[in-house]
Structure 1
Amino acid sequence: MSNQPHEGYDPYGQPQQQPQAWPGQQQPYDDPYAAQQYPQHQQYQQHPQQPQHPQHTQYTQQWQGQTWETQTHQPVTAAAEETAYLPPQGYAAPAPEAAAPEAPAPDSGYGPATVAGNTRVTDAQRARAEGRSPIIEPGMQPAALTALLGLLLAGAAAIGTYALLVPLVALQAVTAAGWFRLNGMWPARQGIALGFAGALAADAALLVSGRSPSAILGTLGVWVLLSLVLQLRSHADPDERMYGLMATVAAAALAIVAGGYLAADADAVTVGAVAVAVAVLARALVPPPRTVASVVVALLAAAGAGSAVGTLTDLGTHGAFLGAGAGACALIGHRVASYDYPSRFVHFTAGVALPLSAAAPAVYVLGRALA
């Protein structure tokens, strides 16, 4: 500890700056002859070399016992002893097997063994693993039901407004139920009932207002606000409430917008509904791998059907444009119902209703423009 005594050195030779001794300890500089012959710095350097002097020995031992290094080494040593017995943090823990699992057998239908057990492989996951598209279209049976419902709409529109309400209400109910099932929310009776109630309210507003399209917009705004209030009162998690809000608003919007058949001209409804029926049937007849070809064939068939039916109405050859527009919207709704390996129930609800519901705005707008 040869460097520690320099704390008491005074370069100006003032004796009052010398360190004071502790109680019961004599002054370290008690040699008057050494103080007269040597400077203070030399006197201070001689103390460690005279251990025989009892006074210097006592001072050196006590001074070393109170040094800064002694005080700081003790807590460091204690901390090291305390932490020496801590278990290793994650280095010796057994890690789960990270090896890539082997692909399941083609006919097993189950995934690889996991810690939690075997997991069922869905059709969408199997299709992605095999490099195939996970999209399955509704097929011929839902397309036939869509064509049947479209023909009912076309015939009812030719009869009268109240006759049109019967197939229209059925279309709106299937639309609300199919959209919730398409989003994986079932049973969702509250949301389905809310969307269907909005469709009925829009129909009633259309009849009262003389089939004014503003009734659809007003009902849609009220139902969006009502859906928001109901979801805010829910006790579910925030993510689930947001997901439920989006599904409820979309289902109500599609069901209400389907009321556009009631607001459109009767001839436009007849031409558009027939065009949708033909487009969906043509889309289902062409094999799924030929997507582009089937879309082109469906659009041409819808335009031809619209032109043919338009000659029987006041639209004439302009029915081809209306048929093509309604057929394009119907194909969009058909594609939405085919999303990511939906179940059979989705095919017979959303797959049937969405093509007709999506075509309702085109029927109203093009019918008013071409009339």
Structure 2
Amino acid sequence: MTNQPHNGYGPREPYEPYEPRDPYGSYDQQGVQPPAQPGYDAYQPYDPYAQAQPQQAQPQQPQHPQNPAAWPTAQGGQQGYAQQEPVTQTWQTPTWDTQTWQQPVAPAPAGDHSYGSPWPGEPEPGPQAHDFGHAPGAQPPSPVAEPVAPAAPERPMTAAEKAKAEGRPQILAPGFRPAVLTTVLAVLLAAAAPLGQFALVVPVALLQAVTAAGWFRLNGMWPARQGIALAFLGGIAADIGLLATDADQAPTVLMGTLGVWVLLTLVLQLRSNAAPDERLYGLMVAGASAALTVVAAGHLAATSSDAVVIGAVGVAVTALARALPLPKIASPVVALVAAAGSGVATGSLTGFGTSAALLALAAGCCALAGLRAASYDYPSRFVHMTAGVALPLMAAAPAVYVLGRALG
């Protein structure tokens, strides 16, 4: 009997000092050899107190198949060899933050796709290709197309550009309808000429208005209200000057009006807020439009009304003949022959004589030049109905004035 209290758990085992663990240690390295005993199994843990306490039955440990290729492990230099497991051994040790513990990762169950295993019937993923080469049997990665910036929206092609791309002619002469309108305006001039200048000024002013609008549109400037209004006012100023002075002063009136209107056009363009290139282009177009409207007043400046009639008829016949569906080479020739024939007919009716054929032929040539100028904006119908109508008669005004004075 002793004075120590009875705890019911048997005698205490002696305290064994802690020794550092070496997972790769072995008995050979530490110099500890297990005692040779009958029935000793080198793969079972050695217990030095197994003989001292025979009365305590040790629980039977499940016997594992011996695997001499297993990696040895040691605990305190007295642990045996552990059996190799199919999974990697992990240790529950505190992490750096000393708050959490690393838990062993359970092996992925079969058919669990969260661990990257393929679906049933899906082939195993092959080795991945790296930047420095491809694994044997691996397919090279498909090239990834670089994103292409969306193209900026292009402006629609003009009719002339489309005709050029398709191989069609970019110059299209005004058709039959503009020719009919030219004929109507020519008849108005021929009918008003014998009535005097005050009657003739009405169709001349109409011709000047159509000329101003058509020239701006022909050059791609629309609506350009200020430029058209300024050019038309220049023509009206020339008409007023011709009506207020003698016929001999016509060149001075026309040149003076033209000079003043070019100066006004320059002042108007200087006040514009457009870019310098646009202002220069606008100055050229506005100045040319003012000059053409002033030149159209030449019909009013002619000293002989018969010359106005002969020239107007010659222009009308030329426009109609040019609109006929004839070959390109033959069409202008036929138009000039028709103009000369009209001069012969009108000369016999007005008493102008055979020289009327020359005047009509010259007016016809000027009309062809005006039609050619109106044909460049392919195929703008508005240009054909304005510039295509007015430019033939406007271009014939200098010939009517000069030849009318010379042949009359």
Normalised by the shorter chain, which TM-score bucket? 0.5 to 0.7
How far, CA to CA, are the matches of 1:119 and 1:240 in structure 2? 19
Structure 1: unaligned runs, 5 residues or longer: 1-93, 98-113
C-alpha deviation, 1:186, in angstroms: 0.7
- The one-letter code matched in structure 2 to 1:243 is Y
Q: Equivalent residue for 2:306? A: 267
Q: Deviations over 1:119-168 (max 9, x none)?
A: 53332222212222111111000100001100110110022211111111
* 2:167 equivalent to 1:131: yes
| Partners of 1:236 and 1:95 in 2: CA distance | 38
Match of 2:255 in 1: 217
Give RMSD over aligned pairs.
1.9
2:354 to 287, 310, 317: 317
Deviations 1:80-112, CA, capped at 9 Å, x for gaps = xxxxxxxxxxxxxx7979xxxxxxxxxxxxxxx
- Which of residues 314, 332, 349 is equivalent to 1:295? 332
Deviations 1:252-306 (A, max 9, x none): 111110000001121100000000000000000134xx22210000011111101
Contact 1:206-1:213 within 8 A present in 2 as well: no
- For 1:101, the equivalent position in structure 2 comes to none
The answer for the alignment partner of 1:338 in structure 2 is 375
Q: Structure 1: which amino acid aligns with 2:179?
A: A
Q: 1:356 aligns with which of 371, 374, 393?
A: 393
Pair 185,207 (structure 1): closer, same or farther in 2 beyond 3 Å: same
| 3-state SS in 2 of match to 1:285 | coil
Give the residue type in structure 1 aligned to 2:318: A
275-284 vs 160-169, greater mean Cα deviation: 160-169
Q: Normalized per residue, which structure has more helix?
A: 1
Query: SS at 2:378's partner residue?
Result: coil
- Kindly indicate whether the alpha-carbon contact (under 8 Å) linking 1:231 and 1:245 is maintained by their aligned counterparts in 2: yes
Matching of residue 156 in structure 1 with residue 195 in structure 2: no
Q: Does 1:250 align with 2:291?
A: no
Aligned-partner Cα distance in 2 for 1:367–1:118: 53
**Residue 186 of structure 1: aligned partner:** 222
Answer whether contact 1:158 1:266 (CA < 8 A) is retained. yes
Identity of aligned residues (%): 63
Q: TM-score, normalised by structure 2?
A: 0.62
What letter matches 2:225 in structure 1? Answer: R
Counterpart Cα distance in 2 of 1:162 and 1:257: 18
Q: Once the 2 structures are TM-superposed, how far is the Cα of residue 177 of structure 1 from its aligned partner?
A: 0.6
The Cα offsets for residues 41-98 of structure 1, whole Å up to 9 and x where unpaired, read as xxxxxxxxxxxxxxxxxxxxxxxxxxxxxxxxxxxxxxxxxxxxxxxxxxxxx7979x
Shift of 1:191: 0.3
The separation in 2 between residues aligned to 1:122 and 1:213, in whole angstroms, is 41
1:205 and 2:241 correspond: yes
Q: 1:258 to 1:96 in 2, by over 3 A?
A: farther
CA contact (8 A) 1:257 1:361 kept: yes
Say whether 1:276 aligns with 2:312.
no
Q: How far 1:357 moved relative to its partner?
A: 0.4
Note the residue ranges of structure 2 that are not aligned, 5 or more in a row.
Answer: 1-145
Question: Size of the alignment, in residue pairs?
Answer: 261
Do the aligned residues in 2 keep the contact of 1:279 with 1:327 (CA within 8 Å)? yes
Tell me if structure 1 keeps the 8 A contact 2:377–2:383: no
Q: Equivalent residue for 2:130? A: none
Per-residue CA deviations over 1:179-235 (Å, capped at 9, x if unaligned) read: 011111111110000000000000000011123232111101111111112212222
Distance 2:320 2:299 in 1: 21
Question: Counterpart of 1:320 in structure 2: which amino acid?
Answer: A
Question: TM-score, normalised on structure 1?
Answer: 0.68
Greater CA drift, 239-248 or 336-345: 336-345
1:262 maps to a residue whose letter is L
Does the aligned pair in 1 maintain the 2:159–2:379 contact within 8 Å?
no
Partner amino acid, structure 2, of 1:218: G
C-alpha separation between the residues in 2 aligned to 1:172 and 1:133?
30
In the alignment, the residues of structure 2 paired with residue 96 and residue 128 of structure 1 have an alpha-carbon distance, to the nearest angstrom, of 30
SS of the equivalent of 2:223 reads coil
- Structure exhibiting the larger radius of gyration computed from Cα positions: 2
CA distance, structure 2, for counterparts of residue 221 and residue 140 of structure 1:
37
One-letter identity of the residue aligned with 2:212? A
Query: Is the Cα contact below 8 Å between 2:314 and 2:342 reproduced in 1?
Result: yes
2:349 is aligned with 1:307: no
Partner Cα separation in structure 2 for residue 96 and residue 266 of structure 1:
71
- Which residue identity is paired with 2:297? G
Conserved in 2, the CA contact under 8 Å of 1:282 and 1:297? yes
